[in-house]
């Protein structure tokens, strides 16, 4: 299963994005954590600064408060009543008399001071006392009994000025009192520290501040445990031993922003997200694996489909092939008729199922007359078309239940089973012969083709396929022998004729070796003045058993038996040797017939001609080779080049039996012919038949126009000779002038001619 390129690119891009998403997210979360941490730190710093400023403002207020109180205590110590008291004391005044009054006055002043100094309506000094240098309490605004003094104690060694003594929850301002340079005691003012602290420091402080304490030399006046997560700021209270320390617990947004928990929470969130990404990635990769497996299995399925398809195709091909093989084995490829093997199969089936005594199986062997000649002259393609048409006509002539098979070449078999009367076979044969009465049209020619039919009837002519076929063949041979275009029923005598042919073949094979072949020569003469200009060599066979056999009877057999090349070579060699002797008597032109079979191996043939000419000494230009139209119509490059090769040797070429081969005239120009021989069938009806006259004139005019010599064959009377002479036919050959004769007879004629006539130039 192939993936489209675009889709593939898209999925690759998605995959990359998915792979990048994890690290990108991690990076993003780390960045977020970092930024949050920094922001949190900055925020905390600025928040702390804000708290610091706030606390310092409160410390300043407290400092101012204490400075004012110091001023208060100084003012009080400067009061004249105190001076008056110590003056009186110095004067030795007793308590009962003057001193008490002074004390009362001082006490009143102190009380007034204590009551007058308020903060938010509440007295600032909880107690003002005067402690004598001997540590006894002279005066005290509190109800506590004089003489009792608890720490803190003022520093008696202090050089002067207000001392702030802080201890536990007590803050005391101590002002030493000097009279005439002597320390007479201390004015001690107990500051309502809680009030001051509450109103100046604590009240209005940032609500976030959970606790503010005052420290004295590092110790809290109101000690409390520090709590974690708080912000701790300190501020010095100027001109006092105090220091403020505030502990803040961030609340709400601030607490969230500054809290470590938020970072931890964020980190935890990041962790969750990362874990989530990892899980998603894992699921995705599992999905990938699943998808991959799915794709793999789809591919696998597709592969199986493909293999299945291929298998199916292979099976179909095989079936087709088998069908084709069966067809080839049983049918003829050209005509589509059953072939010999199927025909024979059906014949044996018909014979074996022939049960009733009144039934016959008729076997016809049909052979096209002179098909070989048609094939030779028109070529194999035209021959094939003709066979197809002949097959069609045969099929049209028989019943559906009959079988028409092609046995090979131009031979057909017709099987007619279940026939009731012998006469029916004759009727069908007539029908077949009539079917061939219409002309065949092929290669732009219209011509007539006849058939010969041999009939054998089972069971009397044989009850097995081979015997029946053999006997039908004998009947066919007889039909051919007796003029063709006819039918013959098998008879016992026919068998004898066949045996005779076979006997002839057996004899022919030894004819050359047994010197039974010989040549006769038929002179070729000038028409106008019948001097012999040459002769045609004609083959004869004299057999002790058969007697003299004409070439028409044995040359086709030689061609069939494949001995024509050997025999043809012998003819050429004999005739050339003979002609070279005649050539000494005067110019002599030898014509030799060449079978088309001899031209099938051109190189060998050219070599043979060359060597024979060399041996005989006959000039090449005095040898004329006669070929039929088949050779030129085949138009193969081999034949063309071979004829050109012969021409190059200097040998003359002649077209024999011109007009009988239904040939095209174009080849006369195309091939290097020197001579045209008008067939005796055209000469036969001259000069009385108008058609023959017109034809002879036309052939002569055409041949002369092409620069060819013309030899008229088969001249049997003076009228024919005279007519041809009047038509300027060049040469003639026929019984009227000379019959074919032995070499010796021609030698005599040529010798006589040589002495009588002057030699032609």
Contact positions vs ligand C2E (CB under 6 A): 522, 538-539, 550-552, 555, 568, 571, 593, 595, 626, 656-657, 680, 713-716, 733-735, 740
Q: Verify binding: residue 245, Mg ion, rule CB under 5 A.
A: no
What would the two tokens of residue 15 be? Answer: 């995959």
Q: CB of 420: closest distance to ligand C2E in angstroms? A: 47
What would the two tokens of residue 333 be? Answer: 């490829």
Residue closer to ligand C2E by CB (options 362, 517) is 517
Quote the Cα angle for 333-338-340, to 5°: 95
Distance of alpha carbon 314 from alpha carbon 182, whole angstroms: 139
Does residue 273 contact residue 281 with C-beta atoms inside 8 Å? Answer: no
Residue ranges in 353-404 assigned as alpha helix (H): 371-378, 380-397
Q: Which residue is associated with the tokens 């072939």?
A: 339
Residue closer to Mg ion by CB (options 410, 713) is 713
Q: Which of 260, 715, 272 is nearest to 526 (CA)?
A: 715
Does residue 639 contact residue 607 with C-beta atoms inside 8 Å? Answer: no
714's contact among Mg ion, ligand C2E, none, with CB below 5 to 8 A by partner kind, is: ligand C2E
Residue closer to ligand C2E by CB (options 201, 592) is 592
Pairing relationship of beta strands 125-132 and 182-191 according to DSSP bridges: antiparallel
Any bridge partners for residue 215, and if so which?
220, 243
72's contact among ligand C2E, Mg ion, none, with CB below 5 to 8 A by partner kind, is: none
Residue closer to ligand C2E by CB (options 54, 656) is 656
In the Cβ-directed half-sphere of 732, how many Cα atoms lie within 13 Å? 29
Contacts of residue 436, Cβ cutoff 8 Å, sequence gap at least 6: 390, 393, 448, 449, 450, 451, 485
Distance of alpha carbon 362 from alpha carbon 460, whole angstroms: 10
In the chain, the N- to C-terminal Cα span, in Å, equals 91
Q: Verify binding: residue 626, Mg ion, rule CB under 5 A.
A: yes
Enter the DSSP assignment of 738: -
107's contact among ligand C2E, Mg ion, none, with CB below 5 to 8 A by partner kind, is: none
Q: CB of 658: closest distance to Mg ion in angstroms? A: 8
Does residue 35 contact residue 263 with C-beta atoms inside 8 Å? Answer: no
Q: Which residue in the set 175, 452, 593, 595 belongs to the binding site for Mg ion (CB under 5 A)?
A: 593
Residue closer to Mg ion by CB (options 480, 677) is 677
Q: Verify binding: residue 629, Mg ion, rule CB under 5 A.
A: no
Distance of alpha carbon 431 from alpha carbon 186, whole angstroms: 175
555's contact among ligand C2E, Mg ion, none, with CB below 5 to 8 A by partner kind, is: ligand C2E
Q: Verify binding: residue 461, Mg ion, rule CB under 5 A.
A: no
Q: Which of 403, 415, 368 is nearest to 389 (CA)?
A: 368
Q: CB of 637: closest distance to ligand C2E in angstroms? A: 24
What would the two tokens of residue 77 be? Answer: 């110590």
603's contact among ligand C2E, Mg ion, none, with CB below 5 to 8 A by partner kind, is: none
Residue closer to ligand C2E by CB (options 468, 524) is 524
Does residue 746 contact residue 525 with C-beta atoms inside 8 Å? Answer: no
Give the total of residues touching Mg ion (CB under 5 A): 5
Residue closer to ligand C2E by CB (options 465, 568) is 568
Q: CB of 517: closest distance to ligand C2E in angstroms? A: 9
What would the two tokens of residue 598 be? Answer: 């001899």
Q: Verify binding: residue 656, Mg ion, rule CB under 5 A.
A: yes
Residue closer to ligand C2E by CB (options 661, 714) is 714
What would the two tokens of residue 487 be? Answer: 């039918």
What would the two tokens of residue 103 be? Answer: 């004390």
Any bridge partners for residue 202, and if so which?
none
Distance of alpha carbon 173 from alpha carbon 165, whole angstroms: 6
Whether residue 556 is preceded by a cis peptide bond, meaning omega within 30 degrees of 0, is: no
Enter the DSSP assignment of 401: T
338's contact among Mg ion, ligand C2E, none, with CB below 5 to 8 A by partner kind, is: none
What would the two tokens of residue 79 be? Answer: 């009061």
128's contact among Mg ion, ligand C2E, none, with CB below 5 to 8 A by partner kind, is: none
Distance of alpha carbon 158 from alpha carbon 174, whole angstroms: 10
Q: Which residue in the set 56, 245, 657, 709 belongs to the binding site for Mg ion (CB under 5 A)?
A: 657
Q: Which residue is associated with the tokens 């070989």?
A: 372
Residue 333: strand, helix, or coil: coil
Residue closer to ligand C2E by CB (options 402, 569) is 569
Q: CB of 714: closest distance to ligand C2E in angstroms? A: 4
610's contact among Mg ion, ligand C2E, none, with CB below 5 to 8 A by partner kind, is: none
Draw the binding track, 677-716, toward Mg ion (x: CB under 5 A; -: no contact).
------------------------------------x---
Does residue 590 contact residue 625 with C-beta atoms inside 8 Å? Answer: no
165's contact among Mg ion, ligand C2E, none, with CB below 5 to 8 A by partner kind, is: none
Residue closer to ligand C2E by CB (options 389, 716) is 716
Distance of alpha carbon 459 from alpha carbon 353, whole angstroms: 12
Distance of alpha carbon 53 from alpha carbon 72, whole angstroms: 28
Residue closer to ligand C2E by CB (options 350, 599) is 599
Per-position DSSP letters for 654-716, written without gaps between them: EEEEETSS---SHHHHHS---EEEE-HHHHTTTTT-HHHHHHHHHHHHHHHHTT-EEEE----
Residue closer to ligand C2E by CB (options 72, 565) is 565
CA distances from 11 to 14, 284, 288, 751 (A): 5, 13, 11, 108
Contacts of residue 248, Cβ cutoff 8 Å, sequence gap at least 6: 51, 206, 208, 209, 210, 230, 231, 232, 233
- C-beta neighbour count of 78 within 10 angstroms: 12
Residue closer to ligand C2E by CB (options 101, 741) is 741
Residue closer to Mg ion by CB (options 140, 713) is 713
What would the two tokens of residue 592 be? Answer: 């030799």
Residue closer to ligand C2E by CB (options 538, 590) is 538
Chain residues binding Mg ion by CB under 5 A are: 593, 626, 656-657, 713
């Amino acid at each position: 299963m192939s993936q489209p390129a675009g889709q593939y690119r898209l999925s690759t891009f998605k995959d990359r994005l998915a792979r990048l998403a994890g690290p990108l997210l991690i990076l993003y979360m780390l960045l977020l954590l970092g930024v949050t941490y920094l922001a949190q730190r900055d925020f905390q710093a600025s928040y702390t600064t804000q708290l610091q400023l706030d606390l310092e403002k409160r410390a300043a207020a407290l400092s101012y408060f204490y400075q004012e109180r110091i001023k208060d205590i100084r003012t009080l110590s400067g009061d004249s009543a105190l001076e008056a008291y110590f003056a009186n004391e110095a004067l030795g005044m007793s308590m009962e008399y003057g001193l008490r009054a002074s004390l009362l006055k001082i006490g009143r002043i102190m009380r007034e001071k204590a009551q007058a100094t308020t903060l938010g309506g509440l007295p600032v000094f909880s107690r003002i006392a005067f402690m004598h240098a001997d540590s006894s309490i002279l005066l005290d605004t509190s109800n506590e009994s004089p003489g009792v003094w608890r720490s803190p104690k003022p520093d008696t060694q202090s050089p002067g000025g207000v001392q702030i003594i802080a201890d536990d929850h007590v803050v005391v301002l101590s002002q030493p009192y000097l009279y005439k340079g002597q320390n007479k005691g201390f004015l001690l003012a107990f500051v309502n520290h809680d009030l001051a602290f509450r109103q100046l420091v604590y009240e209005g402080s940032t609500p976030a501040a959970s606790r503010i304490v005052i420290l004295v030399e590092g110790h809290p006046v109101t000690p409390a445990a520090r709590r974690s997560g708080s912000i701790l700021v300190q501020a010095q209270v100027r001109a006092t031993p105090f220091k403020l320390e505030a502990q803040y617990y961030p609340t709400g947004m601030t607490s969230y922003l500054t809290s470590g928990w938020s970072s931890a929470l964020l980190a935890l969130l990041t962790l969750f997200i990362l874990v989530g990404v990892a899980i998603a990635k894992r699921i995705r990769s599992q999905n990938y694996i699943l998808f991959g497996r799915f794709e793999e299995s789809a591919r696998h399925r597709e592969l199986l489909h493909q293999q299945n398809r291929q298998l199916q195709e292979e099976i179909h091909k095989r079936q087709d092939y088998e069908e084709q093989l069966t067809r080839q084995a049983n049918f003829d490829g050209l005509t589509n008729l059953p072939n010999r093997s199927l025909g024979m199969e059906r014949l044996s089936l018909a014979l074996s199922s022939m049960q009733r005594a009144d039934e016959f199986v008729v076997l016809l062997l049909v052979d096209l007359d002179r098909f070989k000649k048609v094939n030779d002259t028109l070529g194999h393609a035209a021959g094939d078309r003709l066979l197809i048409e002949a097959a069609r006509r045969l099929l049209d002539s028989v019943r559906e239940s009959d079988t028409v098979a092609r046995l090979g070449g131009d031979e057909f078999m017709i099987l007619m089973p279940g026939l009731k009367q012998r006469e029916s076979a004759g009727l069908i044969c007539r029908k077949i012969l009539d079917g061939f009465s219409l002309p065949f049209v092929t290669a732009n020619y219209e011509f007539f083709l006849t058939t010969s039919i041999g009939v054998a009837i089972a069971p009397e002519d044989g009850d097995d396929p081979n015997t029946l076929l053999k006997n039908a063949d004998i009947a066919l041979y007889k039909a051919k022998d007796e003029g063709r275009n006819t039918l013959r029923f098998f008879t016992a005598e026919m068998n004898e004729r066949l045996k005779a042919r076979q006997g002839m073949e057996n004899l022919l094979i030894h004819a050359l070796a047994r010197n039974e072949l010989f040549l006769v020569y038929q002179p070729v003469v000038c028409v106008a003045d019948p001097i012999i200009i040459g002769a045609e060599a004609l083959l004869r066979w004299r057999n002790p058993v058969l007697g003299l056999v004409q070439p028409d009877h044995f040359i086709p057999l030689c061609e069939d038996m494949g001995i024509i090349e050997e025999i043809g070579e012998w003819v050429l060699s004999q005739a050339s040797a003979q002609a070279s002797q005649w050539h000494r008597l005067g110019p002599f032109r030898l014509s030799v017939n060449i079978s088309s079979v001899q031209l099938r191996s051109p190189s060998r043939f050219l070599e043979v001609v060359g060597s024979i000419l060399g041996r005989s000494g006959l000039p090449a230009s005095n040898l004329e080779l006669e070929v039929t139209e088949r050779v030129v119509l085949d138009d193969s490059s081999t034949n063309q080049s071979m004829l050109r090769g012969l021409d190059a040797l200097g040998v003359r070429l002649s077209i024999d039996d011109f007009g009988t081969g239904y040939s095209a005239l174009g080849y006369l120009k195309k091939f290097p012919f020197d001579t045209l021989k008008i067939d005796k069938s055209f000469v036969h009806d001259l000069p009385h038949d108008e058609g023959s006259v017109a034809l002879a004139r036309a052939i002569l005019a055409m041949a002369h126009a092409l620069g060819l010599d013309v030899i008229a064959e088969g001249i049997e009377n003076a009228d024919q000779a005279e007519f041809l002479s009047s038509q300027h036919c060049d040469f003639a050959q026929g019984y009227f002038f000379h019959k074919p004769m032995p070499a010796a007879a021609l030698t005599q004629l040529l010798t006589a001619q040589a002495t009588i006539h002057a030699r032609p130039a």
